[in-house]
Amino acid sequence: MGYPMAGHLAKAGHGVTVYNRTASKAAAWVREHGGRCASSVKEAVSGAEFVFACVGADKDVAEICLGADGAFGAMDAGSVFTDHTTASADCAREMAAAAAECGVGFLDAPVSGGQAGAENGALTIMVGGDQAIYDKTEPVMQAYAKMVRLLGPVGAGQTAKMVNQVCIAGVVQGLSEALHLAMSAGLDAKAVVDVISKGAAQSWQMENRAETMIDGKFDYGFAVDWMRKDLAIVLAEANNLGISLPLTALVDQFYSDVQAMGGGRHDTSSLIRRFRD
């Protein structure tokens, strides 16, 4: 995700320094886009007005932000760290507090839109943080976004991303069951989708994944392993709030079945494998 996002920043005329824990990826980016690559987080953030990160999970965010070699201690006072990782709201609040101690602004800003959205500069960005910090950073994020919105204080972006993932999980499960019904009944499933996608059943998942689901192709972006990571965050937050999310819990278990079938790196539409394999 970060590779094309950084590319859009370079195309927009920003001076970009990139860092990746796999150095060859950063070097490849520089060959394609110019700019420069750094050998450490500290080197990458030194002198930067804006720092953007997109890593895996809470522990990865903490690893790149904190400690003697972390970003916060090396960033200039008044600069802004924007975290595009899908992490927990608690992580966002902890990082914001640590950043503030160093005089650094912090935004939690998870994204939706997948690899295609990143490549096309059409991501949706859900942001939590201070209004003034957001106002300063939002024009820069527009380089790779079709929608950017501040939704509340730090943690609100991550909570909104949880809402996003609940919606996706439910829709993919419903689409999987619908396609299974169509194929089991001997219908031309692609023809059925062509018809019902013009009515109330239409969804992004139907428009973009139904045909590949029918064809049994699951190499189109966001992986099951990552969805399970995200749903674990969702279910933990629901527990903290004292609320029940029964459909989300059920679909999470269905995704565990896909992992057991060897589909951890398949995209999330592979839920249909539970019915068809």
Mapped to the 3 state alphabet, what secondary structure does 78-107 carry?
CCEEEECCCCCHHHHHHHHHHHHHCCCEEE
Q: What pLDDT, on a 0 to 100 scale, did the predictor assign at position 219? A: 94
Most distant CA pair in the chain, distance: 64
pLDDT for res 233? 97
User: What's the pLDDT tens digit per position in 235-247?
Assistant: 999 999 999 999 9
Q: Would you say 269 and 179 are in contact if contact means Cβ atoms under 8 Å apart? A: no
pLDDT of residue 144: 98
Task: Note every long-range contact of 178-187, with CB atoms under 8 Å and residues 24 or more positions apart, other chains counting.
Answer: 179/210, 179/213, 179/214, 179/272, 180/272, 180/275, 180/276, 183/214, 183/276
Distance of alpha carbon 14 from the chain centroid: 23
Q: Give the model's pLDDT for residue 68.
A: 84
Domains in the chain and their CATH numbers? 2-152 (3.40.50.720), 159-276 (1.10.1040.10)
Q: How confident is the model at residue 51 (pLDDT cuts 50, 70, 90)?
A: very high
Characterize the bridge pairing of strands 145-150 and 123-127: parallel
Q: Which of 42, 136, 161, 198 is catalytic?
A: 161
Q: What is the dihedral of CA 147, 150, 152, 154, to 10 degrees?
A: 100
Average pLDDT over residues 7-29: 96
Give the pairing of strands 17-18 and 145-150: unpaired
Note the pLDDT tens digit of each residue in 104-160. 999 999 999 988 899 999 999 999 999 999 999 999 999 999 999 999 999 999 999
Mean pLDDT over all residues of the chain? Answer: 97
User: Is residue 175 scored above 90 in pLDDT?
Assistant: yes
Reading the block at residue 58, the tokens are 């809470």
Classify 108 as helix, strand or coil: strand
Q: What percent of the chain has pLDDT over 70?
A: 100
| Degrees, nearest 5: CA angle 140-11-73 | 50
Stretch 174-188: mean pLDDT, rounded?
98
Q: Cβ atoms within 10 A of the Cβ of 204, count? A: 12
Q: How far apart are CA 232 and CA 2, in angstroms?
A: 23
Across 78-95, average pLDDT: 98
pLDDT (average), residues 59-83: 95
Q: What local confidence, expressed as pLDDT, does residue 197 receive?
A: 98
* Amino acid at site 139: P
The mean per-residue pLDDT over the stretch 83-110 comes to 98
- State how far the Cα of 274 lies from the Cα of 58, in Å rounded to an integer: 30
> Does residue 161 have an active-site annotation?
yes
At residue 242, the 3 state secondary structure works out as coil
Residue 69 scores a pLDDT above 90: no
